[in-house]
Structure 1
């Protein structure tokens, strides 16, 4: 990553990392600090799209909230069903998801197709779906902040 950052700095006035922490538990921050780079704010992309206070409220209300973004809705079969082996062993669903109480889809660009996929994903998990239309303004704000030098 150091070589990439150095290479990009030769061509651009500003270089930043387009990720939130996303489960690195601070490891991404350490890399960014060592390279003098800034990243998107938030603990994860959910904070970027919905805002950290709104996400905290979702989890305070129902700690067993499973969150989807548009990307996760589109890739659910690959990133969840196949990766967890639910396509081969559907009986594992309850082992993995027994403590979840709902699915929240943070809809950035909601369409009928994505809604159907989100409903299908929630159905696979056996959970009710809550749709929260977030749009992309949170991401736009974070990107604008990264570009301010």
Structure 2
């Protein structure tokens, strides 16, 4: 009976290693999400580029007041690298100690969903493991104040 229990435990833990993240994956996923926001805090386009999959798309919904219609805004990897280079060059876009909280929503062997809470907005991210590295492939974001989407 002890041998059977041991074998079942061994089989179960082996399956977990294949299907779920390990401690290093958790650290790497958080590191990538933080690199995304920190590259904007202190302008660092290389840090942003390193965190992104080349086919990343960042989206949000805005309202065009003149047309009175909602539309989806999209940014590519190139746009995000330029954003990291230019957004906070005067150092006035974030508080002295900016908020940067990463919540892991779901993690699998090759994919992760996270929520990044910043000062004025939040980002939902899909992060993929490609060639052994975690990279951001999708971002869906929203301002905390919905009026900012006007």
TM above 0.5, yes or no, is no
Higher share in strand? 2
Tell which structure's C-alpha radius of gyration is larger. 2
Q: TM-score, normalised by structure 2?
A: 0.24
